[in-house]
Amino acid sequence: MESVEGKVVVITGGVSGIGLGIAKVFASAGMKIVLGYRRRDHLDEALAWFGARPELVVCPVPLDVTDRDAWRAALDTAEAEFGQIDVLVNNAGISFIGGIDQATYDDWEWIMKVNFWGVVNGITECLPRIRRHGRGGHIINVSSMAAYLSGAEIGLYATSKFAVRGLTEALRPAVAHLGIGVSELAPGLTRSNIHHAAEKRPAEFANTNFTPDAELIGKFGELMNMGMEPEEVGRRTLAGMKENRPIIFSHPESRDEVREICDAIVAAFPTDTPPPERAAIEEHRRAGKAKAGSILDAE
């Protein structure tokens, strides 16, 4: 998607952190913004920024990404306001600190319902609307560097983001023939308020071994404040979308560690020659993915 002027983008979690950074950059590039929000105070702060720039076009919509009816209502509002939807940015997410070995079912269900099923809901509800107008579009699913670099204390979060990564890689070749690009955005440490997510746990997921600790949350917040500015992530996201990159990495500091992981993966493969019939099957699979426009066709 080289030209974004006048395109309509739906951004979940769009009133703070990375979502707001993307919204500001995309709006400044001439896109019409559908701003998904849950908290009114965050919306008011976002609208104060947009209000000082009346040339930018924004339409806020209440949106809990786990609520499929809310998705339909939000997208109906977007289409009524702007006529169509061209781009979806599945950004909304939660995180909390705790050893994966101590997780309860409620911990797993909460983080997967938001971080993974929220993305599934967005794709399932939004993709048919992009397909309907037939002019192509783009879907950006926000994962994390945690989808590449996991750890015991962020194990649940990393698992949810690994799932988003896999979903994105599978979706890209499935819709390429429709002129719809798909990208995974995998940001590193970014200034945001995601560290407060643990304080807003819904009652239905109350059974947990991870009681919010004010001191731990404060330290997490100090760490987040040292992260990249959300607008910079937004600028790199816009560039990646324009080039239809399969993966958009915004932070350079993880490059060497990811290279080491890739080298270790390759080194783990057996070195014997596979039977010709098995090799032919894999060649056929690779050719099909490349033809569809997958990660394999990227430079």
CA distance 3 to 287: 29
Largest CA distance in the chain: 65
Of 91, 133, 132, which Cα lies nearest the Cα of 114?
91
C-alpha distances out from residue 40 to 13, 62, 77, 173, Å? 12, 9, 18, 38
Of 123, 130, 91, 127, which Cα lies nearest the Cα of 7?
130
Active site residue 157: yes
Tokens of 87: 């781009």
Of 19, 129, 119, which Cα lies nearest the Cα of 65?
119
Helices (H), 104-209: 105-115, 117-133, 155-175
Burial class (CB in 10 A: 0-12, 13-18, 19+), 14: buried
Burial class (CB in 10 A: 0-12, 13-18, 19+), 292: middle
* Residue 265: half-sphere exposure toward Cβ, Cα within 13 Å: 7
Catalytic residues: 157
